[in-house]
Structure 1
């Protein structure tokens, strides 16, 4: 019976995605995006049938495994704009590094204030990059592989939903800056939103997300260790 429900939820998720995509194309409402509609419908169905998450995850985990190749596919539009990217590469690199520092420090500070345990705290530190990068980083930090997709999706949703409002409030009009903000703050969901706004914003968001992921995986463990050391000295 468990095998049946695993396959059922796989089919359900795929059908829900195509339904939500068609609905979003027709309405162009951000709150009807597949990334919001599909989880809401799936969670509702799980509650109705009173199933466990393992029943849902049994076969849908293969959809998560596709995130790696999908992330690589973002490099295609990046290649088309390579001359422009070379022109602004230093700015993009600096902004990605600043985003990494802000994400790590804010997550660690808030987790410490609310006295969260180390597993949750370490999982939160990797929430600001796309899931394929975040899974690798979480293993290095000793976080939870089960929690990081949840934290990453929540981060992406908040960035996607509130990004337009924040950028409008700032009144600063620059498509490169917009794309960088979406890519660093909301990763894959930010890319989707940036591409809706303008092709150039989508390209910059793609590059920013990839740079942020690489920088986080390579340097975040060292930065986090230094942060812990400094905070422990200050606290003492």
Structure 2
């Protein structure tokens, strides 16, 4: 019997607390409605964004600038529209009742854009002339292609000095070749077709010309 009375008392306390919380929440809910107009001509502004600050909830004004939305006491309402300065309205936290109306006036926001110079369209001859004479800088791919050309590589090879690694490698190769043919005659490449082909190509390239 005591357990039943205790359980009944607990349920009764929870019901009272829930009812009090609901009454507090119900008292905090506010039906906000109003109209947004221009400050100079008092003309209704359509499609104005009416949004609760720091919340993903809001609405838009209709064609006459009228709106209606449910908010809470203490909420901040932001009014924004392209071409007008933004405005904000705070719902009083000590508001008596559950409705609040507002007439929000918005001022035109003047925006100065940079000057634009409009010129006549060039003729076909002018366009072709300017297009052909335009100096287009080479991109990275074109620069890499130019640096890998055979003629460019040969010029760089002849003009740039060899570093220590290349010099030591060349000396070691010459020493190894001299040791390999030590005590015997070296083969003469005069009868080698490959050597003659390389000689002819070098002659055509101008490798033997005096610089």
Normalised to the residue count of structure 2, the TM-score between the two structures is 0.18
- Greater share of helix: 1
If asked which structure has higher relative contact order (CA below 8 Å, sep 6+), I would say: 1
Higher-Rg structure is: 2
Normalised to the residue count of structure 1, the TM-score between the two structures is 0.17
